[in-house]
Chain A
């Protein structure tokens, strides 16, 4: 009996607890207002891969639409800078010549995406395409967002040199540092390296900067230009013409270089150069253009003994980090004639 009495007492306590519980239940219903607790700020890529894929898709769509209609005006929404100049010229040449053979193919498949961590504007992203169907080399594309209300636009491209071992970049989920044109962490600052390379193209092996760069014989772009100069020079050197061929480049004015950090602390620098080709025969001779592009660009002009060709060249250079004993190496180039005039 005593056992059950104590049990009863316990039960009374339980009952009291339950009643108390029920009472509290009726009163305590309000909860505290939450306050915002955002994630801490951390650096990351300006775009996610998904967003970047949409950007590339939009760019490809605009480019494809313009290609389809041979209408450069449709490029403006997604193409800018040297890329716009080159593509506009290519489309005009294609319209004039009736052939799209010289319109650069930009594959829409990508083997690597390089995204910026830049938090301000402009922002630059890069993409490396796969090889084209006819096994043309992969392209390195640069896209630029000028301001927060602007879209990313295709700014430039180069074809990667054959057999290139592309420097490694930070993963696109982490993002890569975009360097200022005067960044000092490199062997040569981005804007200087471009100016030096332009000088190298103009003056050849005699350039004062040649030592910083890989030997001319290994550089496919310099090899190409040398070949053109030799063959054109040979043509112009005929007896009846006794002409000369010169080619010179300067960095395109008011066009910033695009530099992105590589994994080893160096950078890939992309820039546009203005190339000028002058072919001049002796007085009284008449030069006729060779090649589709020049012919199309010279259409309707009165031939003379002097032809000036304008090129929009785009180059990408690998610049080693400061203090490195590596040489600056060409990553890729694009050499497209965008203008031609007699005289």
Chain B
């Protein structure tokens, strides 16, 4: 009882942690954009950003420059020294960075007038001048009342220049908007820790459940399933059996010619029969599993044909024969392709689902710690999945499908299914 309580508490805590993690990325998530504004200062009609300001928060920025009324306003982006060159001796508002997340730091700039002769005419021509149309800009927009420019950062030093245009022009107010992908640093830690807790809780509950039946076939079966997983990792297409099988087999595959085939083919049938019989007997579970390819298997006429592809067939059972081990070792021959693992997992899943109906089963699905498995299929319809990615891969790469597939169709449980 205490154990069940503990397990439940762990699960609840785990769900809470996961929930907090998710909430941190949803409910409490930062906003999707940063919007910062700059109010003009001084008596100029220009606003200029320092290089680096446009890409301060993100590489994409939307600039909105607005002036009171319907005065013309121009926004342009150019190399920083071009912008500074264009501004020349005009007074302007310089944007240097962020004061806080909604305010840009500004300061009034009054460039020195280099020569008095130029100083006389510059203020006249400068105020309200329109930067629009200059060859140096890489982007520009002119509008009445406001102008909006989208800018994506690119290599280089880029400055924004915004200008109120006209005789009574005023410097525009600048608003920079950066879309932001809010960081969700607590999402996966939360979910991960939560999942760990749930798993721990489940483990506590499960251990209690399973204790009374230590020798049950189910336990052994589970071990087999795990063994099978490792095995699959070695040889993705089942023919990887070669790695587990004694090296000699591999040599057979490559070197031995057709003369071996006769020898090889001969023992095949008895071995197969024996193995399938043994498997069927040792693990009654096999019967519960749908034969994945009752149609595919025989259709490929694997057994009788003394093809090259049949050789691994021989090799695998031989190995099994030699060790004559437990079902685990059977698996370690690798002659059983991926679908076997699936079947076993399905079966195991089904078993557990039966054992733990209700919340435990659902929690398992929720945590995702066990991959979702399709429900057991009818033997008749179960065929297509067995072709899985092995044959797809072979087809895609132009390998002969018959030889390859035949090899492990023979050893595959569907052949056994036939034998049954």
List A residues at the B interface (Cβ < 8 Å): 4, 7-8, 10-11, 14-15, 17-19, 21-22, 24-26, 28-29, 31, 33-39, 41, 44, 46-48, 51, 54-55, 58, 119-121, 145, 148-149, 151-152
A17 and B193 contacting across the interface, CB-CB below 8 Å:
yes
A14 and B200 contacting across the interface, CB-CB below 8 Å:
yes
A7 and B134 contacting across the interface, CB-CB below 8 Å:
no
Q: List 25 A-B contacts (CB under 8 A).
A: A11-B204, A18-B17, A18-B190, A18-B193, A18-B194, A21-B17, A22-B190, A25-B24, A25-B190, A29-B28, A31-B183, A33-B101, A34-B98, A36-B51, A36-B53, A36-B96, A46-B82, A47-B135, A47-B136, A58-B135, A120-B85, A148-B88, A148-B134, A148-B136, A149-B129
Which residues of B from 55 to 100 have beta carbons under 8 Å from A?
56-57, 80-82, 85-86, 88, 96-98, 100
- B197 CB → nearest A CB, Å: 5
Which residues of B from 146 to 193 have beta carbons under 8 Å from A?
155-157, 183, 185-186, 189-190, 193
List B residues at the A interface (Cβ < 8 Å): 3, 6, 9-10, 13-14, 16-17, 20-21, 24, 28, 30, 50-53, 56-57, 80-82, 85-86, 88, 96-98, 100-101, 129, 131, 133-136, 138, 155-157, 183, 185-186, 189-190, 193-194, 196-197, 200-201, 203-204, 207
Given A19-B13, A29-B28, A39-B51: A8 and B6 interface contact (C-beta under 8 Å): yes
A14 and B101 contacting across the interface, CB-CB below 8 Å:
no
- A223 CB → nearest B CB, Å: 38
B30 and A29 contacting across the interface, CB-CB below 8 Å:
yes
A11 and B52 contacting across the interface, CB-CB below 8 Å:
no
B204 and A34 contacting across the interface, CB-CB below 8 Å:
no
B13 and A51 contacting across the interface, CB-CB below 8 Å:
no
> Which of A17, A39, A44, A119 has the largest count of B CB atoms less than 10 A from its CB?
A39
Complex: how many Å from CA A121 to CA B84?
12
Question: Which of B13, B51, B100 contacts A18, CB < 8 Å?
Answer: B13
Given A18-B13, A36-B96, A39-B156: A10 and B200 interface contact (C-beta under 8 Å): yes
> Which of A36, A41, A145, A151 has the largest count of B CB atoms less than 10 A from its CB?
A36
Question: Which of B50, B134, B204 contacts A8, CB < 8 Å?
Answer: B204
B88: nearest residue on chain A (CB-CB)? A148
Complex: how many Å from CA A41 to CA B50?
13
B197 and A39 contacting across the interface, CB-CB below 8 Å:
no
